[in-house]
Chain A
Amino acid sequence: MGILNDLKVSRRHALRGIVSGVGVSLWLPVLDAMCNESGTAFAAGAPLPTTFGVFFWGNGIHPGTLWTPTATGDGDAWQLPPNLKTFGDLNLKADMTLVTGLDMMDAQFKGHGWGVVYVLAGGDGTICNITADISKSPYGNLPETSKGTQWKPTIDQLVADAIYVNEPFKSLETGILKYTGQNMGTASLNLAHIGPNMPLPPERDPAKLFNKLFGMGAPMGQGGLPIDVSNKLRRSVLDAVLNDAKRLQATVGSTDSQRIDAHMESVRSLEMRIPATTSTDPATPPASTCVAPKTPTEKAANLDLTQVTATSKAINKLIAAALSCNLTRVYSHLWSGARDDNHYPIIQLDTEHHALTHSDAAANAEAAQIEKYIMDQYADLASTLKGTSIGATTLLDNTILYGISDVAEPSSHVMKNYHIVLMGHAGGKIKGNRHYRKTGRKVTELMLTLQQVMGMKITSFGSWDKTSTTMPEILT
């Protein structure tokens, strides 16, 4: 829809009267009326918006029999390894692109704090080609200290910057387990960052996530205030807040100026979510693909680790609902953070995950069980997306999910042989049902390709392993 491009120009007016000139509420799901006859694209010929997701888990994987298929190629040429078995059970192999063998630079020993910087942001901004180069970065000593963070925007934010039009949320951050240890700074508690010490914290509480996504319809302010009055007053207040921000910005230095920019961006996003008209009751989204789910009753995972599966399912459903209602095009799910230290009573494991990876063979086997369990939850997310149709396609077909961990193999911390589980087809650009393996290639090459798949006109990416080499081997 050419409209989508026009919308970018004037976000404030974007969503008024889009469908046949009738004012609609801000939630603008992909309505069937907007699509072409086969339901595969908007009526004017532009493709349905592709979405981009990240699924991150901490502490890597154990390569070999549990994780690394012996064969590569397409379709029946390769089999799912045991730790990815549930994807097969849920009929998701055709939607998976497994990429193995990727390294971080010269594949040396390094830790979780550097790994998470690498796999989510491509480095900290200092050009490094070998691991030893990290010591010349002014931030090179900071990962795995209380000042650890991301120094560059994470990949989800880069994509969001590029593809955001006017969705209610520029990006959506969710999570399950919360790191409880020391010295990982903001980089283990949060996936998405827009800059150093500027995380976008994930929502781990299903009820709060529900409220954030679907609970915005109620009037605010004095009881009995009609909703359209409430909305007008809220907008007028936020306009004044933006004015104050602009004035303050003129008095500060460049770093604080950027913070004020981000603050204003946030206020504008909030303001845009306040419905502009009242011709439809904003509490009920228009009928179509957007079905507001029931209020969840599950608790945040860390409050009761024995219920973590239920929490995970609840959050997965909300992610799918958010995407089907076009509430966002970019989403990231922090299953567990870099160097995660939670234990898994749900599978009868009392020793925390990270400690298991630094122990004997029996403990490593238990760590591998945790990996399988996490992959089961990833499969549930993918399955939920697959089960949600939009037009003639599904959320899973229309997305690409970057499934990644901070380290490759966790016991040795040698940053070699990352296994990346991509799910989805990005609207047809990614074939799926493929295992691609080329040892020695770099994770940044994959990250570059994923960004290009999302339409970004970039030819290089990364600071650690800065690369212009793409990975067409994952494309259709």
Chain B
Amino acid sequence: MSCTSDAPSRSLRESGTRTASKPGSGILALAFTVVLGGACTGQIVGEGTSQNRNGTGGSMGSSGSGGSPSKPGSGSGGSTQGSGSGGSTQGGDGSGGSMQGSDGSGGSMQGSDGSGGSGTGGAGTGGAPPVPLNMGGVTLRLLTQSEYLASVQSLLGTLTTPMDLADDTSVAGFAEVGATQMSVTDTAATAYETASLAATTEVFADSKRWQTLVGCTPKADLSDACVTTYIKTFGRKAFRRDLTAEEVQQWLGVAQNAATLAGTAATGLSFATAGMLQSPNFLYRVETNKVDPTTGRLKYDGLSMANRLSYALTGGPPSTALLDAAAAGKLDTADGVRAAAAPLLADPAVVDHMVAFFSEYAQAQQVLAVSKSTTLFPTFTAALQSSMLQGTQLFLKNVVLAPGADVRSFYDSNQTFVDAKLAPIYGVKAPTTSGFSQVQLPATSGRAGILGQAAVIAAQSQPDRTSPTRRGIFILESLLCTTPPSPPPGVVTDLTVDTTLTTRQQLEAHRSDPKCAGCHTLFDPMGLALEHFDPIGKYRDTENGLPIDATGTMGTTSFDGEAQLATALRQNPAVLTCLLRNFYRSVNGRAEDDEDLDQILSLGETLSADGYAWTTFLADFVASDAFRSAPALPIMTGSP
């Protein structure tokens, strides 16, 4: 996609137009909770200068009435209601209308969720004359840390030496998206050199090990034919394609030169091998696609599909069998991809990789990064943080991704995993065996699914308080793919801390003041449903001696506490679409665009048809257009 890397992608705000044109069409209408427009500019009724545009699409509730329309002059905009896009600015019929809202003047600045693409955002001028579309090309995706480690392990086997790599850069929630955009810094290049040499030094210090790897015991000057064979064979696995004759000569030369200078075959091969691990041919996944005239989409070539398949499913490199299949044209059809994927899907690495995806999606890893008040939470030590993360990963692996399991258990399962440290946080008995055990959360715990996981709650809390707003926004953005606008100009956002009140009571202004309520009703109720969980995720009945009220309403749905909220979320089709959007993002290494809409919606239907079993879905996913091709995005000439 050589040109689309320069092309902005239109923001998903335009999707509102599309969904709105099919009012009431169930999943379609719900699917894209569109970005809020200027709903929260803080104008109150009667002021007449409202910039209000549309309400958001359904964040909660089933097909109900459309969003309340914003009429000129009315300030309350954005409804949290049910299906469909919100009203138009032209007055009251609520059936569509332009979603140009966020582009307007006057300080409403939102937050479209869709302007990704590698590097440049979208200018999104709906209605402009047709723009030339990209015809395909090459995209480079840097290996993420875990992909690098998996790839090295696949090539050299398990290593004991620590590999200290530069951190991943997360963009749009995923390291995979960052990896498609970031460049290799001086620090990173240095780290690659140190890591690769450490790895090969370990391997080549052990003669049996390296001779097995190389496939022979060459002479000290590496003049044997088997050395050339090694370069070709290892190189093919490392670069995930055949080497050119020039490349073979180059790396052979490096090996032989090194062997001469160092005096041993092992050192020569060690340096050459380490070199190939520093080559951009190893460090970047290369994806090449070309426009398919019958579909108008950019179809990935066989070799790209081999790479995409293996990294998407296992997080690791393609086997030589898969590379062979690619070379034989077997990955050019949906059936071929499906057949090639079948043995891959049996690999336990797939479940582990999916655990990693769901964990990244829920930002569970953040629990390791946050600090808490040691006065209030002395038990929140590094050890507890580690247990929290591990508990969540075990939940994902053994409950959500258990064979045949319904993936929607991610939202509302009453099962989790605890060790002795975590048990008190969840209010359950410590396991009798050491390590982790699966437990059923009692109904009284009010705790279910991912939002009940201590790692997630602790990561979305402050050092000394809960922050329902932060938690609510996390749910809105992560689980509902909706971005709220920023606070409007001039609004006073100060919260006076009053320890004679609960947090909910202290946030009363969010509900009673129309300037605040317009936006806060979109997320506060969900955040407040979590108020029984303190800043480290432990259940509490009271706060400051007062009973906690965790009731809330979003649209027509009411809930009391997180477990009930979780049930409501599970039932909302928009939530599953949002999951698929994020999965799509992670697999493709780019934030989704308008043009990906239909694909994602159709994936939702596939998931449902697969009984929501994630591994079954994966088999269909990899054979889909969404995975085997990319949309042809418009080419933008010139950028700021």
Contacts and interface: CB of A to CB of B under 8 A. Distances in A.
B54 interface: no
B177 to A, nearest CB: 8
A305 B372 CA distance: 10
A201 B181 contact: no
Interface residues of A, number: 97
A198 interface: yes
A9 interface: no
Interface in B263-298: 264, 266-267, 270-272, 274-275, 278-281, 284, 286
Contacts of B138: 251-253, 256
B560 to A, nearest CB: 26
B640 A350 contact: no
A251 B139 CA distance: 10
A352 B462 contact: yes
A13 interface: no
B639 A263 contact: no
A267 B426 CA distance: 49
A201 B201 contact: no
A265 B3 CA distance: 23
Interface in A109-131: 109, 111, 124-127, 131
Interface of B: 1-3, 5-6, 8, 11, 102-113, 115-116, 118-124, 137-140, 166-167, 169-173, 178, 181-190, 193-194, 197, 200-201, 204-205, 246-247, 250-251, 253-254, 257-258, 261-262, 264, 266-267, 270-272, 274-275, 278-281, 284, 286, 366, 369-371, 373-376, 382, 459-460, 462-465, 467, 470, 473-474, 477, 483, 486, 488-490, 493-497, 591, 639-640
Contacts of A196: 119-120, 181
16 contacts: A146-B171, A147-B172, A180-B369, A182-B470, A185-B171, A194-B183, A198-B183, A221-B201, A222-B262, A233-B271, A237-B278, A247-B247, A248-B280, A266-B188, A302-B371, A351-B465
A220 to B, nearest CB: 5
Contact of B169 (A151, A199, A342, A350): A199
A386 interface: no
A149 interface: yes
Contacts of A181: 470
Contacts of B109: 134-135, 140-141
A135 B104 contact: yes
Identify which of A141, A198, A199, A306 gathers the most chain B CB atoms within 10 Å of its CB: A141
B271 A201 contact: no
Contact of B280 (A220, A229, A244, A269): A244
Nearest to B246: A247
Contacts of B188: 266
Nearest to B366: A180
A135 B105 contact: yes
A254 B5 contact: yes
Contacts of A8: none
Contacts of A263: 183-184, 189, 280
Nearest to A249: B280
Nearest to B188: A266
B169 A138 contact: no
A141 B110 contact: yes
Contacts of B286: 248
A244 B279 contact: yes
Given A199-B169, A221-B201, A269-B186, 7 more contacts: A138-B123, A140-B109, A141-B11, A223-B205, A245-B279, A259-B140, A358-B494
B119 A233 contact: no
Contacts of A279: none
Nearest to A170: B186
Contact of A267 (B3, B189, B194, B254): B189
A178 B370 CA distance: 9
A166 to B, nearest CB: 14
A109 B182 contact: no
Contacts of A236: 254, 257-258, 271
Interface in A166-219: 169-170, 178, 180-183, 185-186, 194-201, 203, 212
Nearest to B474: A182
A142 interface: yes
B1 A147 contact: no
A237 B274 contact: yes
A350 B172 contact: no
Nearest to B166: A201
A121 to B, nearest CB: 12
A233 B463 contact: no
Nearest to A259: B183
A237 B172 contact: no
Given A141-B111, A266-B186, A186 B171 contact: yes
Contact of A232 (B110, B173, B261, B463): B261
A139 interface: yes
- Quick one: which of A183, A245, A256, A360 has the most chain B CB within 10 A? A256
A253 B1 contact: yes
Given A138-B123, A260-B280, A240 B251 contact: yes
